[in-house]
Structure 1
Amino acid sequence: MGVQHPKYKVAVVQAAPVWLDLDATVDKTIGLIKEAANAGAKLIAFPEAFIPGYPWYIWMGAPAWAIGRGFVQRYFDNSLSYDSAQAEKLRDAVRSAGITAVLGLSERSGGSLYLAQWLIGPDGETIAKRRKLRPTHAERTVFGDGDGSDLAVHARPDIGRLGALCCWEHLQPLSKYAMYAQDEQVHVAAWPSFSLYDPFAHALGAEVNNAASKVYAVEGSCFVLGPCATVSQAMIDEICDTPDKNQLLHAGGGHAVIYGPDGSSLAEKLPQDQEGLLCADIDLGMIGVAKNAADPAGHYSRPDVTRLLFNNKPSRRVEHFSLPIDTEAVVEVAAAK
């Protein structure tokens, strides 16, 4: 009797958030989770910073303009804290749906924000909270850094070895190799939208960045789920307050994809301005065939020539410690009393 490899349906989100409205976007997220579960999916993947939406204003003008328009304060106030009522509502929804969800969000922790992905299991428990290792370019005016512990793959009995990265983390060869080396089988490649600076910034467009997702699938011999948000006209109306800004950001930009470990497309793309779910049936047995040809961290590697130095320990900004106690001095003081 042959080995039975996990086979199941996955769902990838292509939709616009209710921009800078935490409660409304949480409700929309829950609706998409229910829709995926009703379609028979065991795993759903959300775009980068879907909650409460990507901060497009950082690419539109000076920081003083963004502050004056109120975007900076609103973005902070509508970002999601892990111990909040909204976060618990999301975990309850995932539990009720009996599905695994990889959420994309702006995570608020203390006075800082992070580009985060939360992996929530079908029991509503947190599998992992990861943060983008290094926000990209203008994103560093909003978000802090993750650390080496955020490059992790998680074994799940129902869906295999699951990992996730955000956006241009997929252009970092060493970070990718750290994931491949953990025998990743299903990867969530979360993207915000591909309508910024279109058409004069080719590197930010769908062709380049979907290629990065496809190459990740082939390099890692894994399935890649590529959720991608859309930009709504309501977002354009609010952010683009001058004619020149209307040339920098456009409505649409949705190019969600699902790739197999051979790089093949497993789902027909939606129109770039349409919201919905891409679904596909995946068979983890395909991975063994792909890795037979080229296992990047196994038989196809040359560790005698090149190796990765990988610090996967959490970064601690404060270390708590106590001074050593001189027990003999304590005894002498007590005796003197």
Structure 2
Amino acid sequence: MSLAHPKFRAAAIQAAPVFLDLNASIDKAVALIAEAASKGADLVAFGEAWLPGYPWFIWLDSPAWGMQFIQRYHDNSLIYDSPEAERIAQAAKKHSIMVVMGHSEKQGGSLYLGQWIIGADGRTIARRRKLKPTHVERTVYGEGDGTDLTVWATPLGRVGALCCWEHLQPLSKYAMYAQDEQVHIAGWPSFSLYRGAANALGPEVNVSASRIYAVEGQCFVIAPCSVVSSEMIDTLCGDDPTKRQLLQQGGGFTSIFGPDGTLLHDPLPEREEGIVYAEIDLGLISLAKAAADPAGHYSRPDVTRLVLNRTPGSRVIFTQESQFDATLSSSPESIDQSKANDSSEDIKVQV
């Protein structure tokens, strides 16, 4: 007897947001979600920090110069459970499509590079953060924690996501492979920075990183890649020829790969906005894994193993009223005993 394997159509966005304008960018995102759904897609994915756009200003000049954009960037970053976030969730529900949104997440006074996975019913499947912002990104964003290296069971298969150069982190990738990931969202900003001067930031290296992830993990990789628009260049570079050389228009190299590394669609020109589509057949994964499964039969756990710490990175841990507080009015003997109890509990928490 042959089992039926899930099959669906995936879509990956290659487009620029309305830079530093959250509401206008959400308008554009909702229209793109509707378009993808109208073409039969069951999943649509956006690039890294698509809302409200990747902060290219951190790569173009000093931190002091870049501060002119910081307040606006904070004001236009997405807050979960806000009316703006609800618009995206409702679009997913209205069009019955899973949405993976890359965005600058604002919580309190801090920003994080977020990926929000929303089910076709409009409910949240996952909210993850980039584990370690790359290089100068650390001047803008905070860090995620071990819970962000998770693969989630969904109606479309086991889905996971990483951002940008998280795809150059071997241990993080292995943590995902080991959770039997089937569909991976690789969010990228644009490959238009320092063209001709920094090969590691260019399309050849980073598209290859997405393709290698597919081959190593024997999974489908949906890799949306945003575009730098002429409007973004005008906002960030003005008439400065040096900045215009550092950041160029285009850089869109959106790709969808099969579990053997095959590109599953015709590519779009790097300056062209649009959506790429691919047919996903999860049954092909077993064929790829028959040859090499690095987290399964092709591994040597007796030689090398990975330890994944899934402890949430909570800044504050709220506890119930301690026994010590409840016995302040008791005898000295009771107070001494309660201190001992509190100390032992603290040790257990630390362990």
Alignment TM class, shorter chain as reference: over 0.9
1: CA distance between counterparts of 2:33 and 2:328? Answer: 63
Matched residue, 2:294: 296
Specify the code of the residue in structure 2 equivalent to 1:147: D
CA shift, 1:323, in A, is: 2.2
Residues 166-245 of structure 1 correspond to what in structure 2 (within 5 A)?
A: 166-241=163-238, 242-245=240-243
The percent of aligned pairs where both chains have the same amino acid is 60
2: CA distance between counterparts of 1:163 and 1:30? Answer: 22
CA shift, 1:72, in A, is: 0.7
Matched residue, 1:12: 12
- Given candidates 118, 121, 125, the residue that maps to 1:120 is 118
CA shift, 1:83, in A, is: 1.9
Please identify, of 322-331 and 131-140, the stretch whose mean Cα deviation from structure 2 is larger.
Answer: 322-331
CA shift, 1:84, in A, is: 1.1
Q: Cα RMSD (Å) of the superposition? A: 1.3
1: CA distance between counterparts of 2:241 and 2:328? Answer: 76
2:325 matched to 1:318? no
Specify the code of the residue in structure 2 equivalent to 1:102: V
Seen in structure 2, the aligned counterparts of structure 1 residues 46 and 329 have a Cα distance that, compared at 3 Å, is closer
Matched residue, 1:273: 271
CA offsets 1:11-54 (integer angstroms, 9 cap, x no match): 00000000000000011111111011000000011000000000
2:157 matched to 1:147? no
TM-score with structure 2 setting the length:
0.92
CA shift, 1:8, in A, is: 0.8
Matched residue, 1:246: 244
CA offsets 1:218-254 (integer angstroms, 9 cap, x no match): 0000000010000000000110131111110000000
2:284 matched to 1:286? yes
2: CA distance between counterparts of 1:44 and 1:327? Answer: 53
Indicate the SS of the match to 1:75: helix
1: CA distance between counterparts of 2:119 and 2:202? Answer: 32
Structure 1: give runs of 5+ residues left out of the alignment: none
Matched residue, 2:105: 107
CA shift, 1:330, in A, is: 5.4
1: CA distance between counterparts of 2:122 and 2:201? Answer: 35
2: CA distance between counterparts of 1:328 and 1:198? Answer: 67
Structure 2: give runs of 5+ residues left out of the alignment: 333-351
CA shift, 1:97, in A, is: 0.7
Specify the code of the residue in structure 2 equivalent to 1:53: G
CA shift, 1:327, in A, is: 6.7
Seen in structure 2, the aligned counterparts of structure 1 residues 161 and 325 have a Cα distance that, compared at 3 Å, is same
Aligned residues: 330
CA offsets 1:152-175 (integer angstroms, 9 cap, x no match): 000112x10000000000000000
Specify the code of the residue in structure 2 equivalent to 1:51: L
Seen in structure 2, the aligned counterparts of structure 1 residues 295 and 71 have a Cα distance that, compared at 3 Å, is same
2: CA distance between counterparts of 1:171 and 1:11? Answer: 24
Seen in structure 2, the aligned counterparts of structure 1 residues 288 and 243 have a Cα distance that, compared at 3 Å, is same
